[in-house]
């Protein structure tokens, strides 16, 4: 979707290194989310943001941190990557009212070796 | 603990068949249920359901919510190979302070063979 972009699209990194994934939106939506998708688990919420500098943990937040210094950018950092963090990461945005379902970015495929 | 369960996990059909995908949920303070289609990349929005008994339709796809049974079905008639995808169900809780978080099922992988 043109209103939300993720970078990088693919990344291979070594165990123990820090990694930052970026989500950028042009929709001026207040809410932003990071999910990971693994076979058999569907989409699981890592962290979310409800405003600039306002973030909170989701169900699988261990080993991850986030920051949101501007409305349009939401960063996900793996502090010290592990093989269990090999996954596809999706960023999502939503409006507060109206059609408040998520719009997803195209995803980042992260491989930790 | 809030939970969303989809069935079956995977399904193989032939073009022209009709399929029914199921989503059941156990959540407190239900607000809405969403269906998404995921092909190779990002999930794309199909339907949002908030009221029981009202069928949403889009072409060959339709969906209905049963709040009494805490479930929803997604029907696809006259399936085509382009319907091959993972279909995700997600449930949202009432505000305030939920911050519009959705809980996803693990998906149903549909494979439509020519």
Residue given tokens 């190779």 in the structure block: B40
- A96 upstream amide cis, omega within 30 of 0: no
Burial of B97 by CB count in 10 Å (0-12 exposed, 13-18 middle, 19+ buried)?
exposed
Mind listing the pLDDT tens digit for each residue in B1-38? 668 999 999 999 999 999 999 999 998 888 899 999 99
Instruction: Give B94-109 pLDDT, tens digit per residue.
Output: 877 778 889 999 999 9
* Residue A39 pLDDT class (50, 70, 90 cuts): confident
Chain B residues with CB-CB distance to A40 below 8 A: 106
Tell me which of B86, B88, B102 to substitute to probe the interface with A (most A C-beta atoms closer than 10 Å): B102
Q: What is the pLDDT of residue A110?
A: 97
Determine whether the interchain pair B42/A90 forms a contact, defined as Cβ–Cβ distance below 8 Å: yes
Of the candidates B65, B61, B80, the one whose C-alpha atom is nearest the C-alpha of residue B20 is B61
């Amino acid at each position: 979707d043109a209103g939300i972009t993720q970078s990088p699209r693919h990344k291979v990194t070594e165990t123990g290194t820090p990694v930052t994934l970026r989500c950028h939106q042009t929709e001026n939506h207040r809410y932003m989310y990071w999910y990971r998708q693994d076979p058999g688990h569907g989409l699981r919420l890592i962290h979310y943001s409800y405003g600039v500098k306002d973030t909170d943990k989701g169900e699988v937040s261990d080993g991850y941190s986030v920051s949101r210094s501007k409305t349009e950018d939401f960063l996900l950092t793996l502090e010290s990557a592990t093989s269990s963090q090999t996954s596809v990461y999706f960023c999502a945005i939503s409006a507060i009212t109206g059609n408040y379902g998520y719009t997803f970015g195209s995803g980042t495929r992260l491989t930790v070796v | 603990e809030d939970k969303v369960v989809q069935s079956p996990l995977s399904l193989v059909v032939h073009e022209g068949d009709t399929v029914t995908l199921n989503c059941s949920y156990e959540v407190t303070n239900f607000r809405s249920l969403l269906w998404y289609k995921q092909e190779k990349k990002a999930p794309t929005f199909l339907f949002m359901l908030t009221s029981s008994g009202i069928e949403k339709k889009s072409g060959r796809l339709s969906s209905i919510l049963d709040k009494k049974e805490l479930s929803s079905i997604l029907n696809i008639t006259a399936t085509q190979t382009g319907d091959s995808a993972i279909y995700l169900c997600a449930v949202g809780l009432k505000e305030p302070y939920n911050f519009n978080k959705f809980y996803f099922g693990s998906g149903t992988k549909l494979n439509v063979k020519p």
